[in-house]
Homo-oligomer: A and B are copies of this chain.
Amino acid sequence: MSRFLCPAVSGLAPYTPGEQPRDMRYIKLNTNESPFPPSPKVVEALNKEERQKLRLYSDPTCKDLVDAIAKRYGLTPEQVLPGNGSDENLAFAFRAFCDDSRGPAYADITYGFYKVWAKLWELKPTVVPLREDFSLCVDDYMDLNATLFIANPNAPTGMTVPVEDIRRLLARDRDRVVVVDEAYVDFGAESCVPLLKEFDNLMVVQTFSKSRSLAGARLGFSLGSPELISDLNRIKYSFNPYNINRLSILAGKAAMEDEDYFRTCTGAIQATRAWTVEALEKLGFQVLPSQSNFLFARTDKCKGEMLYKQLKERGILVRWFDADRIRDFVRITIGAQEDMETLVATVSDLLEV
């Protein structure tokens, strides 16, 4: 820290990303990436001609990408805003829809970045504990004077809130924004996107990082009413108008248009997930019911931290969170079937089951 840093900033508690080892030595099941490469159409779209055009600024409106997303979800382009990763979209929402008179509210166990953004924008959050079984009960949020941030499926549990419950939240107070973070929705969960027809206080955030195999392109998007999207644009154009590079715009469009590839990949991950759940349960694990591309699991036979460390020693990276209530668990990304077979064999060996 320098002597120049503003006091308010010195109090920030930055997010710790999962390990990103640079040597590719590991079976990487720690940051919820896809085991599949991007659609071949993505790889083709970034051709030599397009790479040479990098001398020119990207389109700040991202029109081609916005149109592709709007078409895929049956929305108008005015209802779509891409971001430099869904993290950027979420950071903008904290700025646009929260202040001293209405802070953010989110679960005690959820995406770890919510609390970081709250600090970044100097907001006072309301933290609502998940129930004992890690379920999120919307009754706990019903009367909060706050902008609600709900990861659905939740991270790192993988568990879902029924869309019907989110509808109740939206209907309860139409002057309150509900941000539904659907980073993991494409692996079998129900999306809130259809509710956009009824509710202008709904903001849905999705990402290309998981189900569309583009974590390295940094691309997410917000969906909402034209007015709400216009608010987010006000932040974007006050922060970094050219926030998405030329190649990621092209990649996103190609990925969004290749529905077959998307279905094949997300289907395969769901099948592998089912296999992995069964295998881990046979080894005595408790596995939370996941609709995402990861599992949150624990066993009485080994502490979470120990399991994480021992797997790492054996060349498999999973994620462990040193946090109350979930210290016993590890989060395991659903990778390729053969990777999960290696994981299960390694765990079995470790626990001497």
Contacts and interface: CB of A to CB of B under 8 A. Distances in A.
Interface of A: 1-10, 12-17, 20, 22, 28, 31, 33-38, 42-43, 46, 48, 51-60, 63, 84-85, 87-88, 91, 95-99, 102, 116-117, 119-120, 147, 175-177, 200-201, 209, 213-218, 225, 227-228, 230-231, 233-248, 251
A56 B218 contact: no
Contacts of A12: 234-235, 238
Contact of A4 (B87, B91, B201): B201
A12 B239 CA distance: 10
A63 B22 contact: yes
Contacts of A4: 96-97, 147, 175-177, 201, 228, 231
Given A43-B51, A116-B238, A2 B99 contact: no
Given A84-B243, A240-B87, A240-B91, A33 B6 contact: no
Central interface residue in A22, A97, A217, by most chain B CB within 10 Å? A217
A39 to B, nearest CB: 10
A9 B234 contact: yes
Contact of A85 (B1, B9, B217, B240): B240
A238 B120 contact: yes
Report, nearest first, the 4 A-B pairs whose CB atoms are least far apart: A14-B237, A216-B246, A2-B227, A54-B216
A119 B17 contact: no
A63 B96 CA distance: 33
Central interface residue in A6, A14, A120, by most chain B CB within 10 Å? A6
A248 B51 CA distance: 11
Contact of A37 (B7, B55, B98, B237): B55
13 contacts: A2-B200, A4-B147, A4-B201, A4-B231, A5-B231, A6-B96, A17-B241, A20-B57, A31-B57, A37-B52, A43-B51, A87-B239, A216-B245
Given A14-B238, A228-B4, A33 B57 contact: yes
Contacts of A200: 2
Central interface residue in A54, A57, A97, A251, by most chain B CB within 10 Å? A54
B243 A218 contact: yes
Contact of A119 (B14, B216, B231, B238): B238
B20 A96 contact: no
